[in-house]
Amino acid sequence: MLRPRHRPGPSPGGKGTSVDLDIPSLLVVNTLLQTVAALCLSMAALSLPRQAGLTYWAASGFAQAAGLALSNQLDWLPPWLTLLSSQFLIFTGYGLAYIGVVRFLGRPAHETWPMLAVGVLLAAMFLWFTVGAPENRGRILVSSLFFAALSAAMAWHLVRHAERDLCPATTVTAALYAAWALLALARAGWALVIDWQGTAQEPHAMKVATRLVIICVTTTVTNGYLWMISRRLDSELMQQARQDPLTGVANRRVMWAAGEMEVSRALRHHRALSLLMIDIDHFKAVNDRWGHGTGDALLVAVADCLTHELRRSDILARVGGEEFMALLPETGLEDAWAVAERVRQQVATATLDRPQGAVRCTVSIGVATLGADGHVWEELVTAADQALYRAKDTGRNRTETLSVGPGGLEAILPLAQSSRGA
């Protein structure tokens, strides 16, 4: 609310006037903004229960809104009790916001203890300057240091520990907290050096500036929270679109996109390219005998074996129920066959310990290599698939090879004859 305030002195129109901001009105506006922010975060927390930190942010908003509502003097409470109640609610709310930031970033709980201990110490000092040795200057200094310390800690966590996908939301939110920390430090310094002319009251300009900054922080930081949540949800959706949820390797969509790109690159630069088609032998029998839980665990174990044996530049994907594909850039037929044999032998020796006993499995592998006159990704997939069928038809737990050449699929190469499995 704007109220004209008359000041004596000459002016072109007669009496001079200036406009002051009404502190109680600013408190009402800030309280309403905090309440709305808390409601928005509460609805988000109910809709997204798996997003850590949201509940703390919502509780923070409600606590700070309650503290701001008590900031206006209440006739039915002693002034010192009103001050303590409001300020400790605000302190508690800000501490919850700090915990929410740490939880949202997935950091361990013990990382919050040192800063929360600093907050408790400053809150105890505020209590002393309110009840033990009442002094307005001391209260302003302590509360300013409280907000500066926790704001700086939140800014540091957001810059230091946020995953890359959350940028620029975390960067902007961290900048807001850093700015608030600097303003709080400036207020603390002001409380130390300003000449209050022997009064015990905070200057009106300082009160107005503080309230305006808090209103700005309330609005912008809440938007920062929601922006960070949106960025994380987008990242999770992108990951789900690219990743097999059970094994954690890439899915069929990623393999097809990468395969088409690698075929084009191999043909353009005249480089070798090989594809492994890998199928778990008798997987249905595993599910029937041991249950689908064991079957899922077996898929994860096989994916781990494959990941361990492949290079970082290779692309591994689960493309069917028990079927995997591995794309090997710049890998010729003999090297690809050697990789396939190493993978097959590693899987055959792996043991999955279950309560019902040890579970083992084998895999059949089809290897296809793109020849100099190969044309498209589909031809490479067809060749690897036919090689896999041959491996399964001739006894399983073995590796067979094909290549895509001038006349299409070439005959089974002699190298395959030495790939008999145990």
Print burial letters for 249-271: b (CB count within 10 Å at least 16), e (below 16): bbbeebbbebbeebbeebbeeee
Alpha carbon distance, N-terminus to C-terminus of the chain? 86
pLDDT score at 379: 86
Distances (CA, A) of 86 to 68, 187, 231, 421: 6, 19, 34, 76
pLDDT at 270: 87
pLDDT in the model for residue 127: 92
The pLDDT value recorded for residue 364 is: 96
Write out the two tokens for 199: 């009064």
CA atoms within 13 A on the CB side of 10: 1
Backbone Cα Rg of the chain: 33
Q: Are 422 and 363 in contact (CB under 8 A)?
A: no
Cβ contact 253:299 at 8 Å: no
The tens-digit pLDDT sequence of the chain (422 residues) is 344 444 444 444 444 444 456 777 777 888 888 899 999 999 999 998 888 899 999 999 999 999 888 876 556 677 788 888 889 999 999 999 999 999 999 999 899 999 999 999 999 999 999 888 888 888 889 999 999 999 999 999 999 999 888 989 999 999 999 999 998 998 888 878 765 554 556 667 767 777 777 788 778 899 999 999 999 998 888 888 888 989 999 999 999 999 999 999 998 888 899 999 999 999 999 888 888 999 999 999 999 999 999 999 999 999 988 999 999 999 998 999 999 999 999 999 988 888 878 889 999 999 998 864 456 888 889 989 999 999 999 999 999 987 555 444 454 444 444 443 33
**291: helix, strand or coil:** coil
Tokens of 317: 């994907």
pLDDT at 121: 96
Query: Domains plus CATH for the chain?
Result: 2-242 (1.20.1070), 252-418 (3.30.70.270)
Q: What is the value of pTM for the model shown? A: 0.71
